[in-house]
């Protein structure tokens, strides 16, 4: 489907397809088995310009619009969602947030290496006891002269063990009335800062090759200049990052669903049962047609978000709709594809089992499906059910 794509966007999409076919797809199954993506992929992503998309060229970015970014993340999700996550977090959640909220010093220091792949970023919001309720952070940053001293922990942090810079959220006041999102601040913490310990998480259901970590912070000292935005504005920083991040997740889910469709059609037109290919059976065609409709609907919802961002219009509710639908659609698509494969879908010689495992987490992170429904419901009714 090329609806609405200009020449430059179509060229970006072809570049992404070629990159994935050459650098990602041949290795995805092995990375999944060994639970580790080759770290060298980061500089390759930087060299081809994918880590600098939408970032200003004066800071080392490669420019481009958000639809181009969505096209790239879709193709990466189609090849390996673990690789897509590297870009979505380091660029989508960290570099774009620095570009939007940071001062000149922040931009000059961090954007060029993040865009080139010389550095990787991670987004440290979730805590062991705080997931959807992001306003209840327990990690604290206490002012001590010209520095802040940070103590606490973070959980399920994508790129956590690879990161060179941590976009960290912490509560910066001890006042009893500073509950909820009030008093949360955002910091840029170099990953080699003393007192910051990183522990990789293994045994995940999906995204097994992705570097996911727990972060432990013990008397981590950073200068006041590490504040990304004024003290107390961290919740706004986090929510603005996640609103755009949901478009990236949705695009990655379109990639998963498209991969499921490709696999199901390919297998159904080759595999024979009852003297004819699977594609001749009506209920198999039903499974495939359901996937195809989900792919197109999720893609168009995602492209709408990209268009709104590029036109400078409000997009947060539409991003929640796209993320909600696309993530659930990816699970359905992968499940239907596995059904087409039958027993062969249950072994990792074929791709559909991995697609299903990778799709499942998409309904959980960057806001669960239930949280997206509450965001959409609040926008429609004016009533917050949080």
The CATH number that applies at residue 103 is 1.10.540.10
Structure tokens at 165: 């810079």
- End residue of a domain, out of 120, 152, 175: 120
Residue 204 structure tokens: 């995940």
Residue written as tokens 């209920």?
A: 283
| Domain end position, chosen among 59, 91, 120 | 120
Asked whether residue 316 falls in the same domain as residue 244, the answer is yes
Domain check: are 188 and 114 in the same one? Answer: no
The residue among 180, 202, 232 that closes a domain is 232
**How many whole angstroms separate alpha carbon 70 and alpha carbon 74?**
6
Q: Give every CB contact of residue 149 below 8 A, 6+ residues apart in sequence.
A: 141, 142, 219, 220, 221
CA distance 226 to 105: 10
366 is catalytic: yes
Structure tokens at 227: 């504040």
- Residues 52 and 134 grouped into a single domain: no
Residues 214 and 127 in one domain: yes
Confidence at residue 233, expressed as pLDDT on a 0 to 100 scale: 95
Buried b (16+ CB within 10 A) or exposed e, 64-85: bbbbbbbbbbbbbbbbbbbbbb
3-state secondary structure (DSSP) of residue 23: helix
**DSSP characters over 273-322:** ETTEEGGGSHHHHHHHHHHHHHHHHHHHHHHHHHHHHHTT---HHHHHHH
Quote the pLDDT of residue 226: 98
Task: State whether 206 and 187 are in the same domain.
Answer: yes
Looking at the domain assignment, is residue 309 inside a domain? Answer: yes
Q: 139: helix, coil or strand?
A: coil
Residue 386 lies in a domain: no
In a domain, 2, yes or no: no
Q: What is the mean pLDDT of each run of 10 residues along the chain (386 residues)?
A: 78 98 97 97 98 97 96 98 98 98 98 98 96 88 97 98 98 64 93 98 96 98 97 96 96 98 97 93 97 98 97 97 98 98 94 98 95 97 92
Residue 1 forms part of a structural domain: no
Domain count, the chain: 3
Answer whether 95's CB lies under 8 Å from 110's CB. yes
Q: Is 110 inside a domain boundary? A: yes
**Residues 374, 241 share a domain:** yes
Predicted TM-score (pTM) of this structure: 0.95
How many CB atoms sit inside 10 A of residue 25's CB? 16
Q: At what angle do helices 234-268 and 352-360 cross, to 10 degrees?
A: 160
What CA dihedral angle connects 207, 125, 149 and 172, to 10 degrees? 180
Q: State residue 386's pLDDT score.
A: 82
Asked if residue 135 and residue 35 are part of one domain, the reply reads: no
SS3 61: coil
Q: Which residues contact 144 (CB under 8 A, 6 or more apart)?
A: 221
Tokens representing residue 216 in the block: 């432990």
Instruction: State whether residue 127 is helix, strand or coil.
Output: strand
* Separation of CA 209 from chain center: 14
- Give the domain CATH number at 282: 1.20.140.10
CB 111 within 8 A of CB 60: yes
Cβ-contact 75, 256 below 8 angstroms: no
Q: What is the CATH number of the domain that holds 223?
A: 2.40.110.10
pLDDT for res 180: 64
Structural domain boundaries enclosing 109: 7-120
Of residues 75, 318, 328, 366, which has the active-site annotation? 366
CA distances from 263 to 11, 24, 255, 267, 333 (A): 24, 17, 12, 6, 11
Nearest CA-CA partner of 350 in 251, 285, 279, 268: 268
Cα 114 vs. chain centroid, distance in angstroms?
Answer: 16
Inside any domain, residue 362: yes
First-to-final CA distance of the chain: 38
Residues 285, 161 within the same domain: no
Same domain assignment for residues 242 and 337: yes
- Give the whole-angstrom CA distance, residue 211 versus residue 207: 9
Is 133 inside a domain boundary? yes
Q: Which residues contact 282 (CB under 8 A, 6 or more apart)?
A: none
11 in the same domain as 78: yes
- 141 in the same domain as 99: no
Q: Note whether 158 and 212 are same-domain residues.
A: yes
């Amino acid at each position: 489907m090329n609806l609405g794509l200009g020449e430059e966007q179509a060229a970006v999409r072809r570049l992404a397809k070629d990159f994935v076919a050459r650098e990602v797809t041949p290795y995805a199954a092995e990375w999944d088995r060994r639970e580790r993506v080759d770290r060298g992929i980061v500089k390759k992503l930087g060299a081809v310009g994918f880590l600098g998309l939408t970032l200003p060229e004066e800071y080392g970015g490669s420019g481009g619009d958000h639809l181009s970014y969505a096209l790239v993340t879709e193709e990466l999700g189609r090849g390996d969602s673990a690789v897509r996550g590297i870009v979505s977090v380091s660029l989508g959640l960290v570099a774009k947030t620095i570009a939007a909220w940071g001062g000149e010093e922040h931009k000059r220091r961090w954007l060029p290496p993040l865009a080139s792949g010389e550095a990787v970023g991670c987004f440290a919001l979730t805590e062991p006891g705080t997931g959807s309720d992001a306003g209840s952070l327990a990690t604290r940053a206490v002012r001590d002269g010209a520095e802040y001293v940070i103590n606490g922990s973070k959980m399920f942090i994508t790129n956590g063990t690879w990161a060179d810079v941590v976009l960290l959220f912490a509560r910066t006041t001890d006042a009893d009335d500073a509950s909820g999102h009030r008093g949360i601040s955002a910091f840029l913490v170099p990953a080699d800062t003393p007192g910051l310990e990183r522990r990789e998480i293994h045994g995940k259901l999906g995204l097994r090759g992705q570097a996911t970590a727990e972060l432990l912070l013990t008397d981590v000292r950073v200068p006041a200049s590490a504040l990304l935005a004024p003290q107390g504005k961290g919740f706004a920083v986090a929510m603005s990052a996640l609103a755009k991040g949901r478009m990236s997740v949705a695009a990655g889910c379109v990639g998963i669903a498209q991969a499921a469709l490709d696999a199901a059609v390919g297998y159904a037109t080759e595999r024979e049962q009852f003297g004819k290919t699977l594609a001749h059976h009506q209920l198999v065609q039903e499974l495939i047609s359901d996937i195809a409709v989900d792919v197109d609907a999720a893609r168009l919802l995602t492209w709408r978000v990209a268009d709104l961002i590029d036109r400078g219009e409000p997009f947060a509710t539409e991003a929640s709709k796209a993320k909600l639908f696309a993530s659930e659609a990816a699970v359905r698509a992968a499940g239907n594809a596995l059904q087409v494969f039958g027993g062969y879908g249950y072994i990792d010689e074929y791709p559909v089992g991995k697609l299903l495992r990778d799709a499942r987490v998409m309904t959980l992170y960057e806001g669960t499906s239930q949280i997206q429904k509450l965001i959409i419901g609040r926008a429609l009714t004016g009533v917050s059910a949080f």
